Copies of this chain bind each other. A is one copy, B any other.
Amino acid sequence: MDDKFMLMIPGPTPVPESVLLAQAQHLIGHRSGEFSQLMGTVADGLKWLHQTQNEVLMLTASGTGAMEAGIINVLSVGDRVLVGSNGKFGDRWVKVCQAFGLTVDVIETEWGKPLNPNEFQAALTADTDKTIKAVLVTHSETSTGVLNDLKAIADHTCAHGALMLVDAVTSLGACNVPVDEWGLDVVASGSQKGYMVPPGLGFVTLSDRAWQAYETANIPKFYFDLGPYRKSAAKNMTPFTPPVSLFFALQVALKMMQEEGLEQIFTRHAKLQTATRAAMRALNLPLFAADAAASPAVTAVMPQGVAAEQIRQIMRQEYNIALAGGQDHLKGQIFRLGHLGFVSDRDILTAIAALEATLAKLGANGFTPGAGLAAAQAALSA
């Protein structure tokens, strides 16, 4: 029964039927008045979602492409940057910075633990010559289910004067990311996460300070040169052919989000997160991240006595539910349950019910059937 398939991974996330079907419309030319109108509506929605007055630029690229664009448009070869890394994506931004000839200081923390804002403060305070040009942080580290304390790190960065560059790929649309209020200079994200849209569109927004830095940034670029995107965006156009069908989808998804409301979206994600974590605890499944540092987008679980990959396999084969596995050295060690985007209470109850049945099938010890569901239910109705 293929059509029973259910995605519970942190991206691509489930897409509402109306959004899926929007893609099936006949295409329109991207140099037409119709497209400009569509792009204008979408641009407004994106500003709302980002809580910003800045233009949010739309790229035909994944979230990684959007983040790379943000980095190479505000920095120059040799610039010193401070990169927080406590997971696969933090590691990735280190690699991107190195690939483009930046001088990279890494503030590293064990995977599963949050970055320590005090370490950023110390490094920034010590930099009295102001040689650090930018600080890069992954807000929600998808590989571990950790939410870093972006606000605190942004405050220290602001006090220093460096640019604050943020990977908000799995935090935007899941929890509060007030771009202007927190003084975030570059914020990158991707359509297949909180947006409830299929993958293929990347987003990046730059503050006025970031645009000032753009003027002198010298890393070679063309496709990802954001100047032409900004210029085109003023006319609700894109410099290169945009993924038109994904724009159709995005328009519908943003409208749904606006109807739900930002606060409601954040509350829903927080509730789904709490319920998921309560259920895991009740099932005696160790959570990989501590409560205080848990991401509202994804929960990572490190089961003991039963293999993570076996759980994923049974969930997939018997119950048609896809969970994500661990990445890099966490491969086989954890499974990750996504509760990001178009996810409801029912989805969490469904996933927990199937997880209990899976544990029973695997003969896992130390859990009472029904305990996970009861805990999730209690959390959802709290």
Which A residues have a C-beta under 8 Å from some C-beta of B?
3, 5, 7, 9, 11-12, 14-15, 20-21, 23-32, 60-65, 68, 95-96, 99-101, 190, 192, 198-200, 202, 219-225, 240-246, 322, 324-325
Contacts of A190 in B (CB 8 A): 241
Contacts of A3 in B (CB 8 A): 26
User: Closest CB of chain B to A180's CB: distance in Å?
Assistant: 27
User: Can you sample 7 A-B contacts with CB below 8 Å?
Assistant: A7-B26, A20-B25, A20-B245, A29-B322, A60-B65, A60-B199, A63-B241
Given A65-B240, A241-B12, A244-B199, is A220 in contact with B60 using a C-beta cutoff of 8 Å?
no
Do residues A7 and B29 form an inter-chain contact, with CB atoms below 8 A? yes
Contacts of A61 in B (CB 8 A): 60-61, 65, 223
Nearest 3 A-B pairs (CB), nearest first? A200-B243, A198-B245, A23-B23
- Besides A60-B65, A62-B223, A99-B221, 5 new A-B residue pairs in contact (Cβ under 8 A), listed by A number: A20-B24, A20-B245, A23-B24, A23-B245, A223-B224
Do residues A244 and B324 form an inter-chain contact, with CB atoms below 8 A? no
Task: For the complex, give the distance between the alpha carbons of A261 and B205 in Å.
Answer: 45
Contacts of A65 in B (CB 8 A): 60-61, 223, 240
Contacts of A29 in B (CB 8 A): 7, 9, 12, 322, 324
Contacts of A99 in B (CB 8 A): 220-222, 225
Which of A26, A96, A325 gathers most chain B CB within 10 Å? Answer: A26
Contacts of A100 in B (CB 8 A): 220, 222
Task: For the complex, give the distance between the alpha carbons of A20 and B31 in Å.
Answer: 20
Task: For the complex, give the distance between the alpha carbons of A322 and B192 in Å.
Answer: 31
Given A12-B29, A95-B222, A220-B220, is A198 in contact with B244 using a C-beta cutoff of 8 Å?
yes
Do residues A198 and B243 form an inter-chain contact, with CB atoms below 8 A? yes
User: Closest CB of chain B to A204's CB: distance in Å?
Assistant: 12
Task: For the complex, give the distance between the alpha carbons of A5 and B101 in Å.
Answer: 49
Do residues A322 and B32 form an inter-chain contact, with CB atoms below 8 A? yes
User: Closest CB of chain B to A101's CB: distance in Å?
Assistant: 6
Do residues A68 and B223 form an inter-chain contact, with CB atoms below 8 A? yes
Do residues B11 and A241 form an inter-chain contact, with CB atoms below 8 A? yes
Do residues B30 and A12 form an inter-chain contact, with CB atoms below 8 A? yes
User: Closest CB of chain B to A303's CB: distance in Å?
Assistant: 19
Do residues B200 and A246 form an inter-chain contact, with CB atoms below 8 A? yes
Task: For the complex, give the distance between the alpha carbons of A380 and B61 in Å.
Answer: 40
Do residues B21 and A24 form an inter-chain contact, with CB atoms below 8 A? yes
Task: For the complex, give the distance between the alpha carbons of A95 and B20 in Å.
Answer: 37
* Chain B residue, CB-CB nearest to A322: B29
Contacts of A202 in B (CB 8 A): 60
Given A23-B23, A199-B242, A223-B64, is A5 in contact with B30 using a C-beta cutoff of 8 Å?
no
Task: For the complex, give the distance between the alpha carbons of A242 and B243 in Å.
Answer: 13
Task: For the complex, give the distance between the alpha carbons of A63 and B5 in Å.
Answer: 33
